Every structure is written in structure tokens, then in C-alpha cells.
Structure 1
Amino acid sequence: MHYLLCYDLAPDYLERRGQYRDEHLKLAWEAQERGDLILAGACSDPADMSFLIFQSESAALIEAFAKADPYLIHGIVTGYKIRKWNTVVGKDAFTPLRPE
């Protein structure tokens, strides 16, 4: 299944992220290299949210990722949600649906 990890970012995210950015990116790239993390990035204008797309059998892997993320540990991420994402269109959709 696909999962979305939705981060709420602190108002001073852009000013504070530099101190922990390498650690955060290392964690993310390691997850990507294992095949767990598909895409990730922050929104802009305003920079108040970021989204990470995972593929996993359960949300436990995503929960562990979030709890290990230096951005969450140091308060740059102020909250998060994990949502199962029922993908139906695209070559990587888990349950592709086509019109009859």
C-alpha cells in the first residue's frame, strides 16, 4: 500500500531547518534506497506543510520514520498524520482501476 506522511511545519521552519537538514535528508535517502520512500518534499508559498509518500505493508514503518526524524525531534515539524493512500491511477498504483 501507499501511505502519506503529512508534516505540519513550524512557522520558523525555513530559518531552523539548516541545523538538522543533513540528518533529515540522510534518513529520507536511506528510506528511499530501501524502497520504502517514493517521493518527499515541502510545500512553498507558504512553507507550512510537507508530504512524504511511502510504500509499505503497514503504517508502523512510517511511524518509526517520523519518530526518528530530527525535524520532529527538534520541533521543526510540529505535528504529523499518516494516511493510507488508495492509489488507483498510474503505473505504480497499488489497485489500478480503468474505465470499462
Structure 2
Amino acid sequence: MNYFILKYSLIPTYMEERGKYREEHLKLAKDYADRGLLVLGGALADPTDEAILVFKTESEKEVAEFARQDPYVQNGLIAKSEIRQWNVVIGNCFEQ
């Protein structure tokens, strides 16, 4: 298994707009978490201009599919997204 980071650059009005799509977004995230694919996720604070989601999966295809289905992406709350493989070296919350 590999780790991937999905990084979202958020639009300036993200905090005001997200409520409309939050339930759908969290439902999708929970589905991926329940399947063991999404490990962590959340927006950065002060300023809330980016969000990071960490996935554990065989390939980035599943990460790209998450982004494609994400209501935040579909409704323009995400200005830009990027998927990067993450080579985890150490951490007691990750199995190697």
C-alpha cells in the first residue's frame, strides 16, 4: 500500500459556502474512511486556505476518483487540487 496526499487550495469564500455541500462531502469521506482508503482529512487553520486529505491505497486512481466525486470540487469550492505520493518513514499511527 502507498500513501497519497490530496491537497486542495480553497476559494476565499470556502468557509461561507461549504455548509451547502458539507453533509455530502462528509458522507463521501466517511465511505472512503470505512473502506480503509482515507486515513485523515481536514482544512488548515489561520488562514483556512488549504485542506489536506491522506489516503492509503494501491494507486492514486482512487484518490483522483474521490476528488472527482467530491461535492466541494463539483461546486467550485476548490480552486486547485494536487495529488502527491507520500513516502512515510516513521509514525506510530501508520502501519509500515
Q: TM-score range by the shorter chain?
A: over 0.9
Structure 1 portions without partners, runs of 5+: 95-100
User: Which fold has the larger relative contact order, with Cα–Cα distance below 8 Å and residues 6 or more apart in sequence?
Assistant: 2
Q: Flag as ranges the 4+ runs of structure 1 deviating above 6 A.
A: none
Question: Residue 44 of structure 1: SS of its match in structure 2?
Answer: coil
- May I ask how many residue pairs the two structures share in their alignment? 94
Question: Residue 54 of structure 1: SS of its match in structure 2?
Answer: strand
CA shift digits 1:29-85 (9 cap, x unpaired): 110000000000001110000000000100000000000000000000111000000
Q: Which residue of 1 aligns with 2:42?
A: 41
Question: Residue 6 of structure 1: SS of its match in structure 2?
Answer: strand
- 1:5 and 2:6 correspond: yes
Question: Residue 24 of structure 1: SS of its match in structure 2?
Answer: helix
Q: TM-score, normalised by structure 1?
A: 0.91
Q: Which residue of 1 aligns with 2:28?
A: 27
Question: Residue 62 of structure 1: SS of its match in structure 2?
Answer: helix
Residues 42, 51 of structure 1: 8 Å contact kept:
yes
Residues 87, 93 of structure 1: 8 Å contact kept:
no
Structure 2 portions without partners, runs of 5+: none
Q: TM-score, normalised by structure 2?
A: 0.95
If you compute each CA radius of gyration, which structure gives the higher value, 1 or 2?
1
Residues 67, 73 of structure 1: 8 Å contact kept:
yes
CA deviation after TM superposition for structure 1 residue 90, in Å: 1.6
Q: What do you get for the CA RMSD once the two structures are aligned?
A: 0.8
Q: Percent identity?
A: 44
Question: Residue 84 of structure 1: SS of its match in structure 2?
Answer: strand
The whole-number CA distance in structure 1 between the counterparts of 2:46 and 2:95 is 29
